[in-house]
Amino acid sequence: MDFLTLFAIYVAVVLTCIILICKYSGREHSPLNSLLNILSKVFAPITPKWLQQFCQRALHRLFHKRNNVLIYLQFLLVGAVYAEFTYEVLGFCKEMGSSLTSLSVPYVLLAFETLFFYLCVKRDPGTVTEKTTSSQLYMYPYDNRLFHPYTHCPTCNLIKPARSKHCRVCERCVQRFDHHCVWMNTCIGAYNTRYFLLYLFCLCAMAADIAFLTGTMLLEVVLQSGLFWAKYIDEHGQQQPAGPQFVIQHLFLTFPRIVFMLGFVVFIFLLLGGYTLFNFFLALVNQTSYEWYRSRSHSCEHCYPTLKADELNGATAHSKRFYYSRGLLRNLGEIFFPQRPVGKKDR
């Protein structure tokens, strides 16, 4: 089995694990839970009871309770990439004549990424409490489709404002709820969505810049060594021109850690790039991930009933699908300069 096949299997496994964690974390019933239940029944006769109980508690805590395990894993991966980039790639890039400015960009992006990560985690996403619920009820109108008036949250014992949702993992209702991010161990809501978007942008820029510098370094090595024009003797004693697969395998044998890091950051860029574009699209139309997911089950012709101008409360009348959209600039302004609760108690 050659390098490309092994790397393809690695990418498939990692991508599958990330999708399963992000999609089914916090849900009581999911295919992941069903698979774990089947495996536990199969290995139950040969597994000590104390080990079974420990695994059940660990899995429940990982997927249904707030914990920092995935945050530590994220820091570990970022640290490993930057350690490899600094230890090996940076020296080659300096020898190639790369400017100090271009080589400092990944570290500047790392500083901004860390800042936005901290702000996103530490800032309140918009928790609905007994003191704020009366004023938060006036922030958004009910669309009578996804959000209905006088809906009561049995856990928080509060009336749920429009665009809010109770998070089972954080055990709280969040205003303008987007989703619960397991990588940040917090909810993404009205007051930290801006930091989440900026964090994603910096993370993608980091991966793209490191991939560009590393790829440029490896390309320069190939050009200087003449690998593109090299030939090798196959098992039949015949000379064959070195193709792309031969060049990649040669680079992997010569710079195994660098090539592995390059493949990882390219994979991360492609994965997060699509997710970042999706989130920025939602920001442009003023829709949350939770609202987008729930709206998939409704047909377009039954999106919203005909509403009066005063019921729209600023929403664009021509956009029935995106009820809360008020135009491109206003939508972005609402994300990056979120409105604060204004109601009877605040007057």
The residues that are catalytic are 181
Residues β-bridged to residue 172: 167
Helix (H) or strand (E) holding 187: strand 186-188
265 in Cβ contact with 211 (< 8 Å): yes
Number of H helices, E strands in the chain: 13, 8
Q: What is the CA radius of gyration of the chain?
A: 25
| DSSP, res 297 | T
**What is residue 182's DSSP assignment?**
T
CA distances from 141 to 116, 148, 178, 342 (A): 30, 9, 17, 13
The string of DSSP codes covering 207-236 is HHHHHHHHHHHHHHHHHHHTGGG-EEE-TT
Comparing CA positions, the residue from 151, 221, 161, 183 lying closest to residue 77 is: 183
Sign, Cα dihedral of 204, 206, 210, 213: positive
On the CB side of 14, CA atoms within 13 Å amount to 13
What residues are paired with 239 via a beta bridge? 233
**Which residues lie closer than 8 Å to 138 by C-beta, 6 or more apart?**
341, 342, 343, 344
